[in-house]
């Protein structure tokens, strides 16, 4: 399975800024290594522009940062899987800690979105992660287990080509802090064990990404750890050259 190098731009970049960043990224990128795939989660308003630049190039994919689990309807401000696909997306992100903490999304609702997205043909990266308080209370496995159980409740079989899990310790997102090798290893080992128990046939092949203040300086070490099959990058992915270095790490 190829390593998945994902960028989450969050609420950054206009259409023109997105085009400029992607063009700069591609112009500075040598041939993409055969063992890598690159995924950009960009704002809804920039999706169509990003799709034009990426142009179906081998190994590059586009994703939506969110969606609502319905085909259409009276859901003001929301976006459907079909709308994402129409903009050129093949992926969607679910369960990010900001959706949980700021917008009050429960693990059950995240599970509905994850299942619906897969049913509608989108690939999914589902995020899980604990707060610092939860880790210090010794609740790491309980928290991650609950988020996985409810977030994947409706996913009876997991296709490694269509589903990935991103572990993002909440205390390391945008703070400049990064989990050390020991913390990453133990968390990813737990996720792998859970996935293998839930999906005996495919659990060992599902990609587990690490996210949380990933930078060019630490990405190589992180990528070398067991059960790390890629990264989900926030702030550093906004800079074309920094993200290029991360992709090649």
Q: Mark whether 12 is an active-site residue.
A: no
3-state secondary structure 4-25: EEEEECCCCCCHHHHHHHHHHH
Cβ–Cβ < 8 Å for 120, 94: no
Q: Nearest Cα to 118, choosing from 152, 77, 83, 168?
A: 152
DSSP type of residue 87: T
Burial of 153 (0-12, 13-18, 19+ CB in 10 A): middle
Say which of 37, 98, 168, 188 is annotated catalytic. Answer: 168
The 3-state DSSP class for residue 200 equals coil
Say which of 37, 96, 98, 188 is annotated catalytic. Answer: 96
* Sequence-distant (≥ 6) Cβ neighbours of residue 123 within 8 angstroms: 61, 63, 90, 91, 92, 161, 162, 163, 164
Which residues form the catalytic set? Answer: 96, 168
């Amino acid at each position: 399975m190829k390593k998945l190098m994902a960028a989450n731009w969050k609420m950054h970049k206009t259409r023109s800024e997105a085009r400029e960043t992607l063009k700069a990224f591609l112009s500075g990128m040598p041939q993409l290594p055969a063992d890598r795939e690159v995924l950009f989660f960009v704002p809804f308003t920039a999706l169509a522009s990003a799709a034009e630049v990426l142009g179906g190039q081998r190994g590059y994919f586009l994703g939506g940062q969110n969606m609502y689990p319905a085909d259409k309807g009276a859901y003001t401000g929301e976006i459907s899987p079909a709308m994402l696909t129409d903009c050129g997306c093949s992926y969607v992100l679910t369960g990010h800690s900001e959706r949980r903490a700021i917008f009050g999304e429960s693990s059950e609702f995240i599970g509905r979105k994850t299942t619906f997205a897969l049913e509608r043909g989108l690939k999914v990266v589902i995020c899980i992660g604990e707060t610092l308080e939860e880790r210090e209370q010794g609740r790491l496995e309980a928290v991650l287990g609950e988020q996985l159980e409810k977030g994947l409740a409706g996913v009876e079989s997991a296709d490694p080509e269509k589903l990935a899990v991103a572990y993002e310790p909440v205390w390391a997102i945008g703070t400049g802090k990064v989990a050390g090798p020991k913390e990453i290893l133990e968390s990813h080992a737990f996720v792998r064990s859970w996935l293998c128990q839930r999906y005996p046939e495919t659990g060992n092949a599902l990609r587990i990404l690490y996210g949380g203040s990933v930078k060019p300086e630490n990405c190589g070490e992180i990528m070398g750890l067991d059960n790390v099959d890629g990264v989900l990058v926030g702030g550093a992915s906004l800079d074309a050259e920094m993200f290029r270095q991360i992709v090649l790490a």
